[in-house]
Structure 1
Amino acid sequence: MTTAAPTPAAQTDAPTAGTWSAPGRVNLIGEHTDYNDGFVFPFAIEYRTSVRLTTRDDARIRVASTFDPDAVEVALADLAALFPARRDEIVEWARYPLGAAWALLQASGADPASVPGVDLDFSSDVPVGAGLSSSAAIEGATAAALNDVWGLGLDRVALAQVGRRAENEAVGAPTGIMDQMASMLGRADAGTFLDCRSLEAQVVELGFAPAGLALLVMDTKVTHAHSTGGYGERRAACERGAAIMGVPALRDLTPADLPRAAELMDDVTFRRVRHVVTEDQRVLDAVATLRAEGPRAIGHLLDASHVSMRDDFEISVPELDLAVDTARAAGAVGARMTGGGFGGAAIALVDLGLVPAVTDAVEKAFADAGYTAPHIFTVTPSEGARRDG
């Protein structure tokens, strides 16, 4: 994506056209810490959502995709009335790009009458429902494209904030900002170590390839939806726990605070809090360990993260547990579920030479259990949102 903002298409005679894309992401470690102002360590992947943008002269926005036969079209001036109050009038997938357009206009202060209308045609190879943030990819591609064509000049952090607002308010999913930051800031062969309070991001080399390792994604095919109750209930428990402890967010607690928390909270709230507090510490430990010892030394942290999500945060499902346990038994360095939970994917850090054996073992375990066959594939840390043509 170019750094200089191009001239808005409204000032030209011919329609402007171009293609932008943004990636999905895998979260290496740091789950449900983002909306608690904590630490996360995701990386962008090679699977991307692309959008073909063409300007139009009638101040309307139309969104279409290869995964829905029906396009959705509204006036740019109507976006402010639609979101968030009337979002349910829009089919859910279209709330992501239309919500990003709305949030972008809100963030920039641009008058909808001052920017050209657009046609946005989406295609994607990011697996939907696998916990790889197909939603942040569509938000990122939309925001990057419109920011360029409308000449708004927002930086990548601001565009990530646009994506989060779209997801929170236009879609109604109470997520944090990790996914959008990973999609906007991704770098090849590196992870994004993010402080979700300050939004300070550090690029950290992962070193998988030099260490002879691959990151395997095991998509269980169990679908989930963040806008449904389980995710919101977990977030509410975290807010309740922070209030009980008298801190702005769980980020402000350390493992040393947990004994006092146990005395003050009911068991469920305490276990939710314990997951977030210990997961924040695992992120810090993972980054320090990677820098000092390399990726082979982080396996125990991945394993501990999964146990915490399974037992304390209670967001795993039997298919995820089976994938993780089988991958470990077949020789993975470490494994954990990734994403918001209640389905989706697990990841395993695996020796390159063991990828076929681990894949076969997980597929056999699923077949033996009578589960739907998983989709298992490797991912490569990749570049963030960009203009492609």
Structure 2
Amino acid sequence: MSAQEAIPVYTNLKDLYASLGTSLNHAERWNNLATEFETRFGKKPTYIARAPGRTFVGEHIDYALFGVLPAAIERDILIACAPREVSPTSPTDETHRAPGSVIAENLQPKYTRQVFAPAPKPKGDDEVHVKGWHLDIPQELRWENYVKAGYYGVLEEYFTGAAAQPIPVDLLVTGSVPAGSGLSSSAAMVVASTLAFLAINGKVGDLPRTENIEKGELVKMSMENEKRVGTVSMDQAASVMSVPSSVLYITFYPSLTASPTPLPAGAVLVCAHSLKVSDKALTAKRGYNLRVVETLVGARALARTLNVPVGAREKITFREVVGKLVDEADVGKGGAGMPVPALMDELRRMETAVDALKPPNSTDPEFGATMEEMILLSGLSAEEFHEVYMSWVEGCADEVRGVVDATHFKLYKRAKHVYSEALRVLQFRQLCLDTAAAGDAGDNLAVLKQLGTLMNESQTSCADDFECSCEELDQLTQLARDAGAYGSRLTGAGWGGCTVSLVPEGEVDAFIKKISETYPPYKGLEGDALSEVIFATRPSTGACVYKFD
């Protein structure tokens, strides 16, 4: 598996459905979307862009540049699209007739039709967040903002300067990934919308190798695109690059790489929604984005206590701290960095090295630093600190101050989670690789139990050290273990959303039945209503495009 591979473009539905797994009626969904598109727009779609949600191991360590082990789930976002003909003589003051205009609809009836168009950026405009185009993208929870974010990235990449005008397009969106579930519905929406606009404008498909966008390029573009709706995420990598039957070991340092890791036979994943909605865009300053700040500042503070050299405005990560401690070779030269066994050894050493983040003469193991103390720990002036670490957060530091322990940021606990979680990812991966190598001689049951233990330890760390769990997730993971899961943990950013449990293959139905009977919010749910909140899945393929004849 390589970030240099082209995005798959299918022209045969049989081949497409075979790549998606079997637990959902894919044909019915895709055919219904195409039929409804024709009903609404009076023409057949030209493409359907697909991007899956994701789950599994390695939470809140990707932006510290540690590798993660996600798996694409079968549930996904689909966007049917087709170019819209606009006469050159049409009045452009009507939005739907403007160059590059978009008419976007959603199969969910609660979402209304949206019509918007990008506007060329006037000369002399000093806005820093746009280049050649302006497209209004409020940082708020609205489905069309994720569509706009995907579109803006395509405009910025391909239609600045003397480039041709973008094509007007009609879109119809549907999705089976529950919003606010921690299954990366927002990342899937951004990837699918980015892919739809790329397809319509001729940037994927039957193109020369040098012109066809690669998976790694789509990941990077989608990551930047999601920032425009107010969140920092790397979930797009799993949505784009995953393969069936495997978790995907994705590294971000020293370069973006992806390699499949087969799950042992008999492993089934069950996702269960806590029914507490978690939305990063709405809670970013109190949750996700705040943890990013704590993690990045913690890395700089740790580097300085360990005498690791840090540039004046360098935003060093916990992964880079490890590399600099051992004078890691091949970094910045396209190399792979230190071998995995060596990295595991260093992560074990970091379990005690993070003690350096505890304040001297303090009995408080959490090390809650005030804003002023963090600035001192960083070695920067107040102005430099805010520019390096706070400028990407909406508003100013005062909006973040007081969110954690009223006035404190828990650098030690965040560091403890990141390093232990990074080690668990590598341990999980090694167990899977060893089992695959052993083949029939392996003891899958024993391995599944060990994998489950790692998942349980991850949940404990997320709850106690990263504090991104919640009462509902704690209850649901415990009920899952009581119901026979090998292991259970939150998935996604946390603070609500879903759990993922590793369940014996032959006990999935009994497991789901027991959870439905014991988790209070599921009381009275049955049939489709129940399958919307708890469902089994196997690792699926990543993002793709279907091209109609």
TM over 0.5: yes
| Cα distance change, pair 83–261 in 1 and its aligned pair in 2 (3 A) | farther
1:96 to 132, 143, 146: 146
CA-to-partner distance for each residue in 1:84-127, whole Å, 9 max, x for gaps?
99532886221111111111222345567522111121011111
Matched, 1:249 2:291: no
Provide structure 1 residue ranges, at least 5 long, that are not aligned to the other structure. Answer: 5-13
Q: Structure 1: which amino acid aligns with 2:155?
A: L
CA-to-partner distance for each residue in 1:319-366, whole Å, 9 max, x for gaps?
111111121122211111111000001111111222233223323332
1:276 to 400, 418, 425: 418
Map 1:199-348; keep pairs closer than 5 Å: 199-207=256-264, 211-227=265-281, 228=283, 229-246=286-303, 248-252=316-320, 253=322, 254-265=347-358, 266-267=367-368, 268-293=410-435, 296=448, 297-348=450-501
TM-score normalised by length of structure 1 = 0.87
Distance in 1 separating the partners of 2:140 and 2:477: 37
Distance in 1 separating the partners of 2:223 and 2:78: 19
1:352 to 505, 508, 513: 505
Give the strand-richer structure, 1 or 2: 1
Distance in 1 separating the partners of 2:458 and 2:119: 45
CA contact (8 A) 1:143 1:163 kept: yes
Provide structure 2 residue ranges, at least 5 long, that are not aligned to the other structure. Answer: 1-6, 11-42, 87-96, 122-129, 204-211, 304-309, 311-315, 323-346, 359-366, 369-409, 436-443
2:230 corresponding residue in structure 1: 172
Which moved further from structure 2: 313-322 or 348-357?
348-357
CA-to-partner distance for each residue in 1:125-165, whole Å, 9 max, x for gaps?
11111111111221122222222221233211111112111
CA contact (8 A) 2:479 2:519 kept: no
Distance in 1 separating the partners of 2:73 and 2:59: 17
CA contact (8 A) 1:258 1:274 kept: yes
2:36 corresponding residue in structure 1: none
CA-to-partner distance for each residue in 1:178-205, whole Å, 9 max, x for gaps?
x211111121111211002321111121
1:189 corresponding residue in structure 2: 245
Distance in 1 separating the partners of 2:415 and 2:153: 31
| Cα distance change, pair 188–74 in 1 and its aligned pair in 2 (3 A) | same
Distance in 2 separating the partners of 1:3 and 1:344: 32
Matched, 1:120 2:163: no
CA contact (8 A) 2:135 2:152 kept: no
1:135 to 167, 186, 193: 186
Give % identity. 28
Matched, 1:155 2:219: no
Distance in 2 separating the partners of 1:329 and 1:118: 50
| Cα distance change, pair 86–105 in 1 and its aligned pair in 2 (3 A) | closer
Q: Structure 2: which amino acid aligns with 1:148?
A: A
- Give the RMSD, CA atoms, in angstroms: 2.7
Q: Structure 2: which amino acid aligns with 1:199?
A: L
| Cα distance change, pair 44–84 in 1 and its aligned pair in 2 (3 A) | farther
CA contact (8 A) 2:481 2:487 kept: yes
Q: Structure 1: which amino acid aligns with 2:418?
A: V
CA-to-partner distance for each residue in 1:54-76, whole Å, 9 max, x for gaps?
11234212222123432222223
CA contact (8 A) 1:221 1:372 kept: no
Distance in 2 separating the partners of 1:365 and 1:346: 15
Which moved further from structure 2: 246-255 or 193-202?
246-255
Distance in 2 separating the partners of 1:256 and 1:86: 47
Distance in 2 separating the partners of 1:244 and 1:85: 38
CA contact (8 A) 1:237 1:269 kept: yes
2:543 corresponding residue in structure 1: 385
Higher alpha-carbon Rg: 2
1:19 to 25, 48, 67: 48
Question: Cα distance, 1:243 vs. partner?
Answer: 1.0
Question: Cα distance, 1:218 vs. partner?
Answer: 1.2
Distance in 2 separating the partners of 1:48 and 1:33: 24
1:34 corresponding residue in structure 2: 62
Count the aligned residue pairs: 372
| Cα distance change, pair 385–264 in 1 and its aligned pair in 2 (3 A) | closer
CA contact (8 A) 1:220 1:372 kept: no
CA contact (8 A) 2:81 2:169 kept: yes
Distance in 1 separating the partners of 2:216 and 2:292: 23
| Cα distance change, pair 114–136 in 1 and its aligned pair in 2 (3 A) | same
Question: Cα distance, 1:172 vs. partner?
Answer: 0.4
Distance in 1 separating the partners of 2:273 and 2:294: 28
CA contact (8 A) 1:76 1:117 kept: no
CA contact (8 A) 1:186 1:384 kept: yes
CA contact (8 A) 1:92 1:171 kept: no
TM-score normalised by length of structure 2 = 0.63
